[in-house]
Amino acid sequence: MAEPVIFVFQGGGALGAFECGVYRELVPYLQARGHRIAALAGASIGAINAAYLSVRQQEADWGAQALETFWREQLSTPALPFLPPLSPYLARWNGLLTNLLSGNPQMFCPNWPGWLPASESVRFFQPLYRTEPMANLLDQHIGPIGPVPTEQPLLLVRTVDVERQATRSFINWRDTITPNHLRASASLPMLFPPVEIDGTYYWDGAFWPQTALREVLNALQQERPPGTAPESYWLIVVDTSDTLSQQIPVSALKSSYRLLGIMFGNRADYDEAAIAMGNRYIELVNDLTETAMAQPDQPWARRILAEAARIERENRCPIRCTRIRRTSLPHEHISRDLDYSPDRIDQLIAQGAEAARAILREVQHH
């Protein structure tokens, strides 16, 4: 039987269009080979992508075309001509300035009182932008999700609890995930307002050193009946940060962009190493179990058999990990994750599709 698939989407604002392209390209391959989606997880824009797909899993293409339409028709914003768009370089400045000065009509708008110098002393409650448009958009296109039966794909939305300085994940198998939870997961500190849910303030879930993978695996193991794990999972992590560029970042803009890549672009490295170590351990226990069953009364055999039973009881299984990474588009140090102009969204979707095709070529080759 084909492995159930776990998607983990990263944050990155407009860079979430890359995830849209990846998903669109992978779905036909997964469906043709009998895979199913076991979990969709994300933080920030990745959480919004995951939630949007979660409510469309019954569609023939698992929501792939709907997500692309959502990006092209709802999230993209024509750039205003602050500068004569005589070159791609100036076009990227227009994309950035449009979203900085006028916002994205569907996602955020300037909070002009927050731009006053006096607001610095109360920045937590007076951010630079308001996100009521995002709340309205998410309510219209996603709405509340859950609780749902564990037979349906798991949806995990990650946030950061501001006061506890810890992550908090909301899961559709046990929680009702509302547009406010998604808005909280995408609440960039200082830029966007924190979102209060049940008396607790939350910030963007992407502002944490690790990905949401550990929470996803814990939920898949703990929320399902014991002994119901598949033989293995296929984990697909979509990285939006550029970690592959080899160029020296000469300018201040390029250096700051590289710094963000260093801070946020390698978070899945630890997950990959931990998965490899866990896979080796499960393989070792499985190899020793057959020998132990031949001598069940031996103390060492009892230990091995007890460990094999624990692994099965806790729904632990091997995981095949695939990371799909993105490289910077031209002049990205200018527009970064704030350029929602239609041509940039088109480029990101196309880039995601090509990155997915490259991965599929590797998968089919091996």
Catalytic residues: 44, 204
Helix (H) or strand (E) holding 302: helix 299-313
With b meaning 16 or more CB within 10 Å and e meaning fewer, what string describes 92-109?
bbbbbbbbeeebbebbbb
How many C-beta atoms surround the C-beta of residue 211 within 10 A? 25
Residues 304 and 244 sit within 8 Å (Cβ to Cβ) = no
With b meaning 16 or more CB within 10 Å and e meaning fewer, what string describes 268-293?
beebbebbeebbeebeebeebbeebe
Closest CA to 239 of 361, 70, 355, 363: 355
Residues 327 and 242 sit within 8 Å (Cβ to Cβ) = yes
Interatomic CA distance for residues 64 and 22, integer angstroms: 10
Q: What are phi and psi of 187, to 5 degrees?
A: -85, 90
* N-terminal to C-terminal alpha carbon distance within the chain: 18
* Two tokens, residue 41: 């997880």
Strands 5-9 and 233-242: parallel
Helix (H, G, I), strand (E, B) or coil at 68: helix
Closest CA to 341 of 67, 12, 80: 80
> 224-230 — which CB contacts under 8 Å span 24+ positions?
224/150, 224/315, 226/312, 226/313, 226/314, 226/315, 227/312, 227/313, 227/315, 228/315, 229/312, 229/315, 229/316, 229/317, 230/1, 230/3, 230/4, 230/38, 230/317
